[in-house]
Every structure is written in C-alpha cells, then in structure tokens.
Amino acid sequence: MSTPQEIHFRDPASRLPGQPAMAQGSVLDALGEIEGETMVLNMGPSHPATHGVLRIVLELDGERISKATPEVGYLHRGDEKIAENMTYTQFIPYTDRLDYLSPLANNVAYVLAVEKLMGIDGQLPPRCQYIRVICCELARISSHLLGIGCFAMDVGAMTVFLHTFTEREKIYDLCEKLTGARFTTSYTRIGGLARDLPPGWVEQCRKFLGEVVVNIDETEKLLTRNRIFIDRTKDVGVIPREMAIDYGLSGPNLRGSGVDRDLRKTRPYLIYPELDFEVALGSVGDCYDRYLVRMEEMRQSVRIIHQCLDRLPEGPINVPDGKTVLPPKHKVLTSMEELIHQFMLVTQGVNVPPGEIYFGADNPKGELGFYIYSRGGGTPYRLKIRSPSFVNLSVLSRLLPGHLVADITAILGSLDFVMGECDR
C-alpha cells in the first residue's frame, strides 16, 4: 500500500505581520497527535450480505477492523426442545429446515443417526443406500451452487448468481419429482426412504448432470481467472491450518486450509467406501482457496452421482422390519399384525433402545452431527445438533480484525454458512 502523499498546509496565521512563520508540517504529523477513537459500526441482523440474520458489531479504525463481535441467535427456533416433544419421524421436517440449502443431506444425516442408535444401519438395503448417496451429492451441488452464486454476487459479479440459480431450478425439479417438494423434502424415513424413484428420474438426472458440468465450466470461466475476483479474494481471510483445527472448522472451510478431513473418507457411511472420488484440498486457506475447493467438490459430486446411477441396484428401499417401517397400506387394511404395527408406529413412534450415540455426516457446509441420548421409547430424551455453521462462525472474531470493511463480504461469502443451521 503506498504511503499517503504529504500535503503541505500554509498556515493562515503566517500571513499576518509579526507572527512567527509556522513550519510547514505534513498532515501526517498533525494527525499523529490526534488520538483516534474507533468507530462502532453495527452490521445489523438485516443486511443483504450477511446471508441470513447475522449481526456483527464492528469496531473500525478508519477502514480497518480492529474488533469484530458476531452475534447469532436471531433465528433460534428451539429445534432441540421441539425434538424432545416429537417422535423421531416427526422431527424429520425440522431437519430440512436446518441447512435449508441442502435439505436432503440433513434428512439423510438425521435418519442415519437414528438408525445407528437402533443398530439397523447395517441392514439398509443397497438400493436405499445408493439413493441416499445420490440425494446427498445432489444436495451438495445445490448448496455449493448457491454458495458460490451468493459469494460472487456479494463480491460484485451479479451474473454468476443468476447462472447458478438456473441450475438450482433444475435440481428443484428433480427433487419435486422425487419427493413432492422443491426443497424442504423430508424424503428419508427411519429404516429407508419415503418412496422409490419415479420412472424417468434417472434419465432426467443424467441429463441434468450433463448440463451442470457446462454451467460449472461457465462459472469457472467467469470467476477463476478473473482479475477483480482474484484481487478481492486472494490472501483475504487466511485461516492457517492450526487455527482451522483449533476452532473446529469442518467441510470446505477446513479443507481449504489444507487439512485432509472428509468424513466420507475418514469415517465413511453408506456406500462411500465403494465409490471412487477425490477430496479437494486447498493450500493457503484464503477465500480463493475455499472457492476453488467448492468448485472441485461439485465436480467430484457429479462424478459420484454418475457412478451411483450406473450401479443403482434393484430391490427394496426399506428395512424389512415391521416395527420400524410403516407396512404397505394394502396389508394394513387387511392383516391384523400390520395394523398393529401401523398403529404403534404412528402414535408412539419407532421404539428406539436406550443409549447414546453421536453421528456426524459430511454435509456441504461441514460436519453436521446429531448426538442422541435416548431413554427408550419413541421420542429422544435429548437431541443435540452439532451444526457446522455455528462452529464455522466462531472463527469470525479472530479472522476479521486486520481486514478492511470491504473484505467482510468476501470472507462471509467464502465461509458459506446458513443461519438456520447455526441457530437451529
């Protein structure tokens, strides 16, 4: 940064006869004697660039941030308390609305946690597991598309936002055909899925994959070697490796700093061990690295979905256990045993054994974990949601000081958090 030019004032008093001529000092000397106060700027809960309701109280020294205090909780809806009053199946719609950019991934993570507690996660039929992986990866593409779109829009490139939203609309179409809703899907159930793939879905998915790769390439052309984008994001918001681990970051934020921790590889679940994909790692840990990690993750997700669609087996989609999964309707209306199962499942919920587990899944935002402490019965005694965005945001108070005000949008966009998940 070049030093400000010296500006010489001519002291008006020196024009008067008899006054000693003042030495012509520079502005910097004059300013040096002024004790500055830092200005407090409130980047309030309602702000276009904060990706939801996040409040940051900034203390500014000119344009430089000297202290930043993020304040969360403006979207705290009491999910964990609600979970103690709902059966496990009734809580699935609430998991949609945690990270509302990738609801399918949240659904999968939650039911995997409950299934782990019940001990039936080894009995999931292969078709169910393949479909769940396809859902997770579609959600990952959807979330990263919006993350990059909003990041670019905040940094100034408005076109990218509209481009990525077009692709997201195609994912919404796929979700709508599969689950009935554009997002807020509530698709998975304990022991399986709500319904099977509709006819023609696999072809539509393949067609979409072909188109999304074109769109990712276009976004890459617009942003990756763009001089302005690089200037705004390179060496901005650098999170060193040790800081990333110490602050518990996860997902692309952690991998952007060079830490190889992808739960799909380190603690694999579903059929990820059989799939062939690579984990994108950054080197420096700045905003540009995190953006590149997300772009590469999208490409790897496309690769994963292609493999899953090629290998998709036929078969049932639910665990064959009447006490876990709702029996087919025609049996309920005719046979006694299924009627009793249906009644028990709907009124009392799935009977989960007492115990406690923690299950963490690699969501697009990071590690979404569910800690369930159960005392038996159909409702959890305590359900804790380990939210990646909550943990990712805690690094802000350490990361922001020293940057300029204009860097805040770049850093917030690159951290890619969602307040629905942060505040639960």
> Scanning residues 302 to 361, which ones bind other proteins (CB under 8 A)?
347-349, 354-358, 360
Which one of residues 64, 172, 194, 218 is an interface residue with other proteins (CB under 8 A)?
Answer: 172
Under the binding rule (CB under 8 A), the answer on residue 423 touching other proteins is yes
Is the CB of 202 or the CB of 339 nearer to other proteins?
Answer: 339
Report residue 255 CA to chain centroid gap.
14
Q: Residue length, the chain?
A: 424
> Scanning residues 54 to 83, which ones bind other proteins (CB under 8 A)?
72-78, 80-82
Looking at residue 354, what DSSP letter applies? S
Under the binding rule (CB under 8 A), the answer on residue 376 touching other proteins is yes
| 419 and 52 Cβ atoms separated by less than 8 Å | yes
Under the binding rule (CB under 8 A), the answer on residue 401 touching other proteins is no
| 369 and 375 Cβ atoms separated by less than 8 Å | no
Is the CB of 14 or the CB of 283 nearer to other proteins?
Answer: 283
Under the binding rule (CB under 8 A), the answer on residue 375 touching other proteins is yes
Under the binding rule (CB under 8 A), the answer on residue 93 touching other proteins is yes
Site string for other proteins, 7-46 (x = CB under 8 A): -------------------------------------xxx
CB of 301 to other proteins, least distance (A): 20
Which one of residues 177, 182, 306, 331 is an interface residue with other proteins (CB under 8 A)?
Answer: 182
How buried is residue 333: exposed, middle or buried, by Cβ count under 10 Å (0-12/13-18/19+)? exposed
The tokens for 312 are 């998709």
SS3 371: strand
CB of 369 to other proteins, least distance (A): 6
Site string for other proteins, 260-299 (x = CB under 8 A): -x----xx--------------------------------
> Scanning residues 136 to 165, which ones bind other proteins (CB under 8 A)?
146, 161-162, 165
Element containing residue 359 per DSSP (H, E): strand 355-363
Sign of CA dihedral 300, 305, 306, 312: positive
| 279 and 262 Cβ atoms separated by less than 8 Å | yes
Judged by CB under 8 A, which stretch of 12-20, 284-292, 331-339, 365-373 contacts other proteins?
Answer: 365-373
Phi then psi for residue 104, to 5 deg, are -60, -40
The greatest distance separating any two alpha carbons of the chain, rounded to the nearest whole angstrom, comes to 114
Under the binding rule (CB under 8 A), the answer on residue 95 touching other proteins is no
Residues 6+ positions from 358 with CB-CB distance below 8 Å? 113, 369, 370, 371, 372, 386
- Between CA 66 and CA 405 the distance in angstroms is 10
How buried is residue 182: exposed, middle or buried, by Cβ count under 10 Å (0-12/13-18/19+)? middle
Is the CB of 266 or the CB of 335 nearer to other proteins?
Answer: 266
Site string for other proteins, 102-141 (x = CB under 8 A): --------------xx-x----------------------
Under the binding rule (CB under 8 A), the answer on residue 414 touching other proteins is no
CB of 260 to other proteins, least distance (A): 8
Judged by CB under 8 A, which stretch of 26-34, 95-103, 202-210, 400-408 contacts other proteins?
Answer: 95-103
Is the CB of 136 or the CB of 396 nearer to other proteins?
Answer: 396
Inter-CA distances, 416 with 66, 99, 251, 347, 419, Å: 23, 11, 10, 39, 10
Helix ranges (H only) for 156-240 are: 158-179, 201-223, 227-233
Judged by CB under 8 A, which stretch of 228-236, 246-254, 303-311, 408-416 contacts other proteins?
Answer: 246-254
- Between CA 113 and CA 108 the distance in angstroms is 9
Residues 6+ positions from 336 with CB-CB distance below 8 Å? none
The tokens for 222 are 């617009």
Under the binding rule (CB under 8 A), the answer on residue 168 touching other proteins is yes
Which one of residues 206, 221, 311, 398 is an interface residue with other proteins (CB under 8 A)?
Answer: 398
CB of 195 to other proteins, least distance (A): 20
Which one of residues 54, 369, 399, 409 is an interface residue with other proteins (CB under 8 A)?
Answer: 369
Element containing residue 81 per DSSP (H, E): helix 79-83
